[in-house]
Amino acid sequence: MRIQTLAIVGVGLIGGSIGLAAKRRGIAERILGVGRRSTSLATAQELGAIDEGVLELLPAVRRAQVVVFCTPVDGIAEQILTAAPSCAPGTLLTDAGSTKAKIVRSVDGRLPQGVHFVGSHPLAGSEKQGAQHADVDLFQNRITVVTQTAQTDSAALERTASLWQALGSRVKILAPEAHDQALALTSHLPHLLAAALAGILPPEFNELTASGFRDTTRVAAGDPLLWTAIFEHNRTAVLEALSLLNGRMDQFRAALEASDWNALKDLLNQAKGIRDALGS
Amino acid sequence: MRIQTLAIVGVGLIGGSIGLAAKRRGIAERILGVGRRSTSLATAQELGAIDEGVLELLPAVRRAQVVVFCTPVDGIAEQILTAAPSCAPGTLLTDAGSTKAKIVRSVDGRLPQGVHFVGSHPLAGSEKQGAQHADVDLFQNRITVVTQTAQTDSAALERTASLWQALGSRVKILAPEAHDQALALTSHLPHLLAAALAGILPPEFNELTASGFRDTTRVAAGDPLLWTAIFEHNRTAVLEALSLLNGRMDQFRAALEASDWNALKDLLNQAKGIRDALGS
């Protein structure tokens, strides 16, 4: 993978990390960062994540062969549809959004001839925000989901997969809906849970929290605006995952209410087996 | 704090860490480790957490001025009542159990003249087990709850507080029931949640988990036997905490069902404010 000009739209934690990794690995000759605030662009440039900051989308995408949208999920589809008519034929557009079906289905079939979009989601990140938290190794050995639909151009799919592999990631190809169903359970539901748990902590108990509470609620520090948009995109799958979890929590509650310690131990054993298999 | 002979009953992660910290900080001249398996005692001795391993409780406590019970919560009260008649007058007994009311109330008023028990709980630990994971700095700047009841001897309370301070900890004095109510929310409920979430992960989604899922479920790797005993001890308070959480989760569900994104954002904002206040 060797790109003459790579444009990164949104240079926060993810966009900044893509820039750093693309530089370090010699993937792009020139990296343009597109953002609305010149201070963020200046930070990204000082960190070496981009070569040049650009405040306007269209002039940037005109110069790029590959554009990666790293903006909040509720803006990505519109930005792609806005950018595409300005792109040269052969331009590859992809993204790093946490949801895929709404974005991919909004774009599918609506791009000019020769301009392709393939959805992506690197399963890496943090509750932190901003290019100042960018990490050159963020994608190293992580999975990036790349989406495929009946409309997906196979050459564009391959280029997208190659891009993420070049950035250090392993690639898994899924339908957008399969991605969203899985992530509802592996990412969006944990966020909801963490936020529910953090939300009921009375301030006088703060000093009585230890690493267990902090680990379990860490993601609740994520940006509420970004996460509201994710929940809006993936509402149905999250509600299904929540029902599944509520059923499981009812089993815990029933065991506690009945003082059925064998049943409780079995539930804890199953959970430990599954968690141990994930590693640290 | 200067102890001639300190006995640590149960030399796992917590007991081993007490031994390492007591050595490093010159708190005890001699440290006896009491355990049922000579291999664990040998490991603790090799790591420098204890000077001598002893397989029998009574000969060890006879020689000690301070005894710390670091065994599972369901055995602590009985071990204290068994040990106390063999202790010399003036011996201080304390523990490191994750629940306090059942233990403290089982022991209160049942010890020989001159032998005192004061309940303790260092809010430090890990989902890992065994002296091989002991950490000399485990208690550094952490809170240790030391319990007080109408029966608590005030000199023994002070010695217990001094012991934990000497080990690096800050001390907070609470009634056993107040401790259990707080920890139901800050530790036991997070464990239940983490186990419920881990328990519903289908194996085919393993590779689609990232740091969010792993953080949120980390504690579910803890020992199911230890945790079953904790839930048994603190059943009522955990059920109350679970009801509180279910109420909050219902608010999230209602916002999702109604597509009320302002309400969802408010819930996420509240959670972020509380979580941010805890620090990393």
Measured CA to CA, the distance from residue A242 to residue B214 in angstroms comes to: 18
* Optimal mutation site among A180, A216, A219, interface B, most CBs of chain B within 10 A: A216
In chain B, the residue whose alpha carbon lies closest to the alpha carbon of A235 is B256
pLDDT at position A58 is 98
- Residue B222's pLDDT is 95
Cβ contacts below 8 Å, chain A against chain B, sum to 267
- Which one of A200, A257, A262 would you mutate to disrupt binding with B, by most B Cβ within 10 Å of its Cβ? A200
Is B116 within 8 Å of B93 (Cβ atoms)?
yes
Of A186, A225, A253, the CB nearest to B208: A186
Give pLDDT, residue B128. 85
Q: Which residue of A has its CA nearest to B142?
A: A210
Half-sphere exposure of B34 (CA within 13 A, CB side): 22
Ranges of residues in chain A with a pLDDT under 50 are none
Three-state SS at A222: coil
**A248 interaction partners in chain B (CB closer than 8 Å):** 196-197, 199-200
Interchain proximity A199–B267, CB inside 8 Å: yes
Measured between beta carbons, the chain B residues lying within 8 angstroms of A17 are: none
Both tokens of B197, joined, read 């979430």
Distance from CA of A103 to the nearest CA of B (A): 18
CB contact under 8 A, A242 and B225: no
| pLDDT 10s digits, A143-163 | 999 999 999 999 999 999 999
- Give me the residue from B235, B253, B261 closest to A242, CB to CB: B253
Q: Give me the pLDDT at residue A40, please.
A: 93
Chain A residues closer than 8 Å to B213 by CB: 186-187, 190, 278
How close, in Å, is residue A272 to chain B by CA atoms?
5
Option in A142, A210, A219 nearest B212 (CB): A219
pLDDT of residue B67: 98
CA distance B137 to chain A (A): 14
Nearest-by-CA chain A residue for B221: A272
Among chain A residues, CA nearest to B215:
A215
User: Which residues of chain B make contact with A227, given a CB cutoff of 8 A?
Assistant: 268
Q: Which of A216, A238, A267 sits opposite B193 (nearest CB)?
A: A216
By CA distance, what is B241's nearest residue in A?
A: A200
Write out chain B residues lying below 8 Å of A187, CB-based: 209-210, 212-213
Digit-coded pLDDT (tens) for B214-267: 999 999 999 999 999 999 999 999 999 999 999 999 999 999 999 999 999 999
pLDDT computed for residue A64 by the predictor: 98
CB contact under 8 A, A242 and B227: no
Edge-to-edge strand list for the sheet holding A28-34 = A52-54, A28-34, A3-9, A66-69, A92-95, A116-118
Burial of B15 (0-12, 13-18, 19+ CB in 10 A): buried
The answer to whether residues A197 and A240 touch, using CB atoms and an 8 Å cutoff, is: no
What pLDDT is attached to residue A228?
98
B211 interaction partners in chain A (CB closer than 8 Å): 124-126
Low-confidence ranges of chain B (pLDDT < 70): none
pLDDT of residue A54: 98
The beta-carbon neighbor of A200 closest among B206, B212, B245 is B245
pLDDT (0 to 100) of residue B280: 83
Task: Tell me if A249 and B242 make a contact (CB, 8 A cut-off).
Answer: yes
The minimum CA-CA distance between A143 and chain B, rounded to whole Å, is 7
> CB–CB of B208 and A145 under 8 A?
yes
Contact A67, A9 (CB under 8 A): yes
Question: CB B224 to CB A256 under 8 A?
Answer: no
